[in-house]
Amino acid sequence: MNRQALIQLIRAKRSFLCIGLDPDLAKIPPHLLEEEDPVFEFNKQIIEATHDLAVAYKPNFAFYESHGVKGWQSLTKTIQYLNSVYPGQLFTIADAKRGDIGNTSQQYARAMFEPGSSGLDFDAVTVAPYMGEDSVKPFLSYSGKWIIVLALTSNKGAVDFQFFSDNGIPLYEQVLEKSKSWGNEENMMYVVGATKAEMLTGIRKIIPRHFLLVPGVGAQGGSLEEVVRYGITGECGLLVNSSRNIIHASNGKDFALKAREEAGRMQKEMNRLLS
């Protein structure tokens, strides 16, 4: 999905909601545990209930890799389901946070973007830029795919390194300045946490038109209204992620209905803010 298609999708759905598919087996409704693949069945029902309200889905790889081969199978079935049942209707993000020396990153990129190799075919992947340009470039070699660079995260430990200052310029701003030349607005986004929403004004001075993936709204305490106030562009330029608040809104047989209600609440607010 290219930039213009993503923008059109946001306009059509009046939404910039990204739903994190981070299924926790301890929170999955007990009746699903009887299924052959509880994680995939959970994801499938969440997607069926919310696909008209969201523009993107973001599986966090940790919730699949922790289950070994079974988890990888659940992840593969989930992305194949999204691509086959809703082609061109949803933006898919591999929340894998990869990044290593060039030849290793090339293999990571194959895993995310080459279905003939891994069975996966995502639109985008999250990438850690700490090892520099040569660790990121292999992901950008795939036409029509996106990388989403970690810039300013929403967790408490973000202050440990991301705010280190050199001549008054914090590290996360240096990451933005340096990395924006590696790609462009058509193939590169950035992660900026909603809990740091007040810093979006300065971030927009550095990357005024890039899309931002914004986690931290909901369970982590970020404000959707503040994210929009400081971060929106004329083309929206935002994908706001919510995971637990939506997918684990209930652990009963009504879990998909409750997920839809929560996603609907967010979409309604997004529609108001877009207006």
Contacts by 115-118, CB closer than 8 A, 24 or more apart = 118/76
The pLDDT tens digits of the residues spanning 214-242 come to 997 866 667 899 999 999 999 999 999 99
The pLDDT tens digits of the residues spanning 142-198 come to 999 999 999 998 888 888 998 899 888 999 999 999 999 999 999 999 999 877 778
pLDDT at 74 over 80: yes
For 86-139, give the DSSP string.
STTT-EEEEEEEE--SHHHHHHHHHHHH-HHHHS---SEEEE--TT-HHHHHHH
Q: What is the pLDDT of residue 251?
A: 95
The H or E element that residue 188 is part of is strand 188-192
**What b/e readout covers 115-147, taking b as 16+ CB neighbours within 10 angstroms?**
eeebebbbbbbbbebeeeeebbbbbbebeebbb
Active-site option among 27, 77, 97, 180: 97
DSSP, collapsed to helix, strand or coil, labels residue 42 as: helix
Percent pLDDT > 90 in the chain is 88
Catalytic site includes residue 268: no
Rounded to 5°, angle at Cα 163 from 158 and 166: 155
Radius of gyration of the chain (CA): 18
Distance of alpha carbon 20 from alpha carbon 58, whole angstroms: 5
Distance of alpha carbon 255 from alpha carbon 262, whole angstroms: 11
Arithmetic mean of pLDDT over the chain: 94
* DSSP state, residue 144: T
- Find the length of the chain: 275
Q: What is the pLDDT of residue 221?
A: 66
- Write down all domains in the chain, each with its CATH number in brackets: 3-274 (3.20.20.70)
Task: Decide if 260 contacts 17 (C-beta within 8 A).
Answer: no
